[in-house]
Amino acid sequence: MTQPADAEDRRAIPPVICYPTATLPRPDLALYRAALDGAEVTETHVAAPREAASFTVPAGHFFRIRSVEGPQVGDLNLWNANDISERFYSGKTRALHGTHVTTGERLWSSFPGFRPMATIVEDSLDWYGIDAYGSSVHDVIGTRCDPYTHNLLSGGQYHHCCHSNLTRALAQHLGMTTAEAEPHVHDVLNVFMCTGFTRDTGQYFMKASPVRPGDQLTFFSEIDLLGALSACPGGDCSAEHSSDAARCYPLEIDILAPAEGALQGWESPARSGYDGSHGM
Ligand SMILES: [Zn+2]
C-alpha cells in the first residue's frame, strides 16, 4: 500500500459534527416526567422468548419496556398507527443522536413525515455510558437478526430471528400475510443491547448486555404508534444469535395513560416542514 506524502496531515484533520443539535427542537422532559409520575398502566403485553408482541400507544401516552426474569435484549419497530408507511428511521436517528440513545433523545420517523415518533423519558441503564471497548446500550447501529444473513453465513433455515418474529407479529396485528407484512419491518432500536464497533477493524460487535430484571426503558408517544418488540433469540447477546442456543427470557411492555390535563401545552409534532417539491 502506498501513501501520499501528506497522509498523516490529512488524517490529523479534526472531525466536524455532521448534524449539530443546537437547533433541534427540545422535548419538554420536565412536563413528560411529571405526566409519567401520575400515569397509570392500562395494558401489559408480553414478548415471549424468541417471539414478538405487537401493541398500540395513543399519542400522549407512554410505553415502557421492562426486563423480567433474566437478561434479554429486544428489537423494536415503530409505525405511525394510522399510516404504516411512516415508520422508525434508525439511520437518521443515529445521524442526529449518535450510535446509542438514552433519556431526552428521540426516535425519528421516515421521510417525508420525518418527525419525532417517541421520546425516551427514562432509562435505568443510563449509568452505563460508553465502556472501555467503545460500546454502549440501546443502539441504532445494528439492523435486526434475520434469516437471510443467517442463511448466507451459516446456511440453514431459522425462523425465530427478530426479523421473522416482527414480521409474524405485524401480520397478526394487521390481518396480513407474512409476505404483505415483511416489507414494513425495518431497522430496529436494539433495546438493552450492548454494542459498538471494534477500534481496529471497524466491525459491529455485541457483548453481554448489562440489563437485569427490573431495568426499564420508557418512551413518550409523540404520535399514535403501532409497535412490535421481539425478544431476540440471542438472549443477552453474549455469544450468538439466530439460533436456539442462548438462554432467552420474556420482555414486558406496559402502556401508561397520563392523568387528565397532565400534558398542558403539549402538541403532537407536525410532519416535516419541507414542501416536498424537490425543486420540480
Ligand atoms: Zn435479534
Helix (H, G, I), strand (E, B) or coil at 198: coil
Residue 36 within any structural domain of the chain: yes
Q: Find the 194 Cα to ligand 1 centroid distance in Å.
A: 13
Residue 2 within any structural domain of the chain: no
Q: Considering its fold, how many domains does the chain have in total? A: 1
Q: Find the 63 Cα to ligand 1 centroid distance in Å.
A: 20
Residue 75 within any structural domain of the chain: yes
Residue 154 within any structural domain of the chain: yes
Secondary structure tally for the chain: helices H, strands E: 6, 13
Q: Find the 19 Cα to ligand 1 centroid distance in Å.
A: 29
Residue 244 within any structural domain of the chain: yes
Residue 104: pLDDT above 90?
Answer: yes
Residue 55 within any structural domain of the chain: yes
Residue 245: pLDDT above 90?
Answer: no
Q: Find the 91 Cα to ligand 1 centroid distance in Å.
A: 18
Q: How far apart are CA 180 and CA 175, in angstroms?
A: 10
Phi, psi of 109 (to 5 degrees): -100, 165
21-52 tens-digit pLDDT: 889 999 999 999 999 999 999 999 999 999 99
Residue 173 · residue 228 · CB < 8 Å? yes
Q: Find the 187 Cα to ligand 1 centroid distance in Å.
A: 11
Residue 23 · residue 240 · CB < 8 Å? no
pTM given for the model: 0.96
Residue 214 burial (CB < 10 Å; 0-12/13-18/19+)? exposed
Residue 39 within any structural domain of the chain: yes
Residues spanned by the domain of 212: 27-257
Q: Find the 232 Cα to ligand 1 centroid distance in Å.
A: 4
Q: Find the 231 Cα to ligand 1 centroid distance in Å.
A: 7
Alpha helices in 131-226 (DSSP H): 147-154, 162-174, 178-181
Band (1; pLDDT cuts 50, 70, 90): confident
Q: In degrees, to the nearest 5, what angle opens at C-alpha 52 toward C-alphas 50 and 54?
A: 170
Residue 13 within any structural domain of the chain: no
